Amino acid sequence: MKEQELIALLNDLSLEEKVMQLVQLPGVAYESGAAVTGLLNDTAKARTLRLAGSTLGIWGAEKLNRLQRQYMENHPHHIPLLMMLDVIHGHKTVFPCPLGQGATFDPELTEQAAAVQAREAAADGIHVTFSPMADLSRDARWGRVMESTGEDKYLNGRMAAAMVRGYQGEDLKSGASVAACVKHFAAYGAAEAGRDYQNTELSEHTLREQYLPAYQCGVEAGARLVMSSFNTWDGVPSSANPWLMQTVLRQEMGFDGVVISDWNAVGELVPHGIARDEKEAALLAMRAGIDIDMCSGCYEKHLQELVEEGKVSRDMLDAAVLRVLKLKNELGLFEDPFHGANPEKAQAVLGAGEHRALARKAAAEALVLLKNEKEALPLKGKKIAFIGPYADEKHLQSAWAISTDREDSVTVWQAAREAFGQDAELRCAPGCLMLAEGTTTSLEVFTCPDAEKENARLLSEAKAAAAWADTVVLCLGEHFMQTGESASRVDIGLPEPQKRLLNALKPDCKCLATLIFCGRPLTLKEECDLSDALMICWLPGTEGGHGIMDVLTGHEAPSGKLPMSFPRHVGQEPLHYDQYMTGRPRPREGIGSFTSHYLDCPNDALYPFGFGLTYTDFRVSEIRLSGEALSQTSELTAAVTLTNIGKYAGTAVLQLYIRDLVGSRVRPVKELKGFRRITLRPGEEKEVVFAITEPMLRFWTINRRMESEPGDFQVWIGLDSTTENTAFFTLTDKD
């Protein structure tokens, strides 16, 4: 449909029809079995069902096509309904959780994974996914770090853009694409004390320099939607903040797509205390620039009245409605309301072999090896025991993989039997219950009759298996509902029964390799001390077992790097590598009275951002700069020679960091500015060259704009954020 036809359609709509295009209903209004991802209210009325412009939480080609037909037949202008769903890291085929994808440092792989998710979701009737989450996440207490790609703005931006490109493809009208929604705008990752839905307290400088860039990358990649965040910033909730939504997002970033609230975020302006009632909440949200009200009912109940009273102009309403109609048009829904979805296509696409193969590759790439003493890995012993609650656990997805079937997942134990064959000497034992009695997850309290007796029985089996084995692979981790939305925690250690299991088994183990399944950084000091090998598996998805066994057996070498720092103690949170230098830095040696330090814990992470081992060793040469100075328009190159000095082939992730030594505002001690994945055979070497340009050096200066400042800079190239392989250059003020 051409734009003039869209405008003609808009002008022909009644006021009620226009308002209802901005109303999103929960899927349960149409189907009792739909997924519920927020608090329900009483908005589902007959007229809403007939006119509401979008819904969410339902999937299935046959079901949604039937709903689309009914909706369009009943709509006065036969406008199609938008179908949205949280396809966060997979639809039928589930990839590692986004934090695990961040660990790959592989945007190309993430783009391919997003394309698979789009292909499956579109075949199943979905038009829009609420992804990527571009929130900068530096506090592991916040459960939603699982949905992010970590603590670094550069990595987050690269990954957000990759996801947008993968979801949307080259043509949104294609039946293999869905529209992407960048969320949560803005700064939701800085929720105070890591507590969901909480205020964020950031200066404009920190907001602009650290938190906004990743969203901007998603917008520049072409995302057609942006979602407002629950949190307040500068005392104003995002869904009522015109400066954030209009000045920053639309004017400065140039976003011309649809802005949608998070679930009931408009209604929550009332308990926030910024609106006296739902009518005022609707007024504030419209003035801020919220196009679609997700499931609060405020627009449905009050927006028409606000327009009739002149409090919301008809031009403002028309602009919002036109953006929604344009999105439907970009998706091709006026020509094909089903967006190419049908049951036969869905059956052929969902869980396809090539999709699972890519998920397997992603699961392997996401693994981060933190320790490997006595060459515990790859596995060598003849008798291997797989012990722990995750040894044969199929729920390897996060709580946000709502449309998959966990029975399709491959467990570690299943994959081990495939990898070693029927004649291998293998044993499996759960060892303990996943959680302690009375543990609260995001949806329920875990209970088990006679939990103490059951744990004793399971431990007895596990100890016998450990004493028998040459190597124990201990599979521990968070319950999948202990991480994600509404899953903030002050204790980010492993569940207590699993800690007891580790300590009880250690004396019986000849060699102990511990695998950790999680959606956030955990405190793992004890687990590190007691294990010969320690590897982070995240929530690895449908092919998690296969990907893990590919690495454990040495068919693939681990290559993942930490996208978030793992703390020594939860008291260090929020923790991130790119901190500002204080006026009283802690000395390199000793404590140093009256300096910035803890009395009872080192300042640094147990495992820093960018860290990850592999089965071989790499040597990085000194940095070779192409010159000593960089002008405003020239390019400087920084080169190193990377050499595989070990006995296995392996992949290194070389990382480029830069520090502005003196600025008009205090600068971070170092910032990631580039990375490369390089695979080398034993003895092989390769020159790796990074380009450095003036735009890479810009920041929010004292002049309140993004710009660079002439002066001295330090550059590092190495294998993690603690590298000391460094050189210096100068930025001049001349072209």
Give pLDDT tens digits for 155-192: 999 999 999 999 999 999 999 999 999 999 999 999 99
SS3 501: helix
The pLDDT of residue 33: 76
Eight-state DSSP code of residue 567:
P
**CATH architecture of residue range(s) 3-346:** Alpha-Beta Barrel (3.20)
Kindly report, residue by residue over 633-667, the tens digit of the pLDDT.
999 999 999 999 999 999 999 999 999 999 999 99
The pLDDT of residue 29: 86
Residue 87 CB neighbour total at 10 angstroms: 30
* Domain residue ranges in the chain: 3-346, 356-558, 618-731
Nearest alpha-carbon partner for 615 in 679, 540, 520:
679
Kindly report, residue by residue over 89-114, the tens digit of the pLDDT.
999 999 999 999 999 999 999 999 99
The pLDDT of residue 61: 97
In the predicted structure, residue 43 carries a pLDDT above the cut 60: no
More confident residue, 14 or 44: 14
How many residues appear in the chain? 735
According to CATH, the topology of domain 618-731 is Immunoglobulin-like (2.60.40)
Nearest alpha-carbon partner for 441 in 495, 477, 476, 481:
481
In the predicted structure, residue 125 carries a pLDDT above the cut 80: yes
In the predicted structure, residue 40 carries a pLDDT above the cut 90: no
Instruction: Please provide the distance, in angstroms rounded to a whole number, between the alpha carbons at the two ends of the chain.
Output: 48
Residue among 262, 291, 532, 660 flagged as catalytic: 262
Contacts of 266 (CB under 8 A, 6+ apart): 239, 281, 282, 285, 290, 293, 294, 296, 298, 299
What's the average model confidence in pLDDT over 400-414?
95
Band (591; pLDDT cuts 50, 70, 90):
low
In the predicted structure, residue 703 carries a pLDDT above the cut 60: yes
In the predicted structure, residue 32 carries a pLDDT above the cut 90: no
SS3 467: helix
Show the DSSP H helices in 492-631 as ranges.
496-505, 525-530, 544-552
What's the average model confidence in pLDDT over 565-591?
90
Band (518; pLDDT cuts 50, 70, 90):
very high
**C-alpha to C-alpha distance for 223 and 564, rounded to whole angstroms:** 25
Contacts of 215 (CB under 8 A, 6+ apart): 134, 160, 182, 185, 186, 226, 253
SS3 558: coil
Eight-state DSSP code of residue 428:
E
Cα angle 130, 14, 223 (rounded to 5 degrees) comes to 20
Return the H-helix or E-strand segment holding 307: helix 298-308
Contacts of 605 (CB under 8 A, 6+ apart): 565, 566, 567, 568, 572, 575, 577
SS3 477: strand
Residue 519 near residue 492, CB atoms below 8 Å: no
Residue 1 CB neighbour total at 10 angstroms: 15
Band (47; pLDDT cuts 50, 70, 90):
low
Domain 356-558 has CATH 1.10.1270.20: no
The pLDDT of residue 590: 66
**C-alpha to C-alpha distance for 612 and 24, rounded to whole angstroms:** 43
Band (588; pLDDT cuts 50, 70, 90):
confident
In the predicted structure, residue 46 carries a pLDDT above the cut 60: no
Q: What is the mean pLDDT of the chain?
A: 96
Band (214; pLDDT cuts 50, 70, 90):
very high
Eight-state DSSP code of residue 96:
P
What's the average model confidence in pLDDT over 118-140?
98
Residues paired with residue 260 on neighbouring β-strands, in sequence order: 227, 292
Band (28; pLDDT cuts 50, 70, 90):
confident
- Largest interatomic CA distance in the chain: 79
Half-sphere exposure (Cβ direction) of 152: Cα atoms closer than 13 Å: 28
Contacts 24+ apart (CB under 8 A), 249-257: 249/185, 249/219, 249/289, 250/289, 253/215, 253/216, 253/219, 253/220, 254/219, 255/219, 255/226, 256/323, 257/223, 257/224, 257/225, 257/226, 257/323, 257/327
Residue 479 near residue 394, CB atoms below 8 Å: no
In the predicted structure, residue 734 carries a pLDDT above the cut 80: no
Return the H-helix or E-strand segment holding 26: strand 23-26
What's the average model confidence in pLDDT over 525-542?
98
Eight-state DSSP code of residue 29:
G
Band (569; pLDDT cuts 50, 70, 90):
very high
Could you confirm whether 262 is annotated as catalytic?
yes
Nearest alpha-carbon partner for 674 in 660, 694, 654:
654
Kindly report, residue by residue over 666-689, the tens digit of the pLDDT.
999 999 999 999 999 999 999 999
Band (589; pLDDT cuts 50, 70, 90):
low
**C-alpha to C-alpha distance for 374 and 533, rounded to whole angstroms:** 8
Task: Locate 284 and state its tokens.
Answer: 């504030």
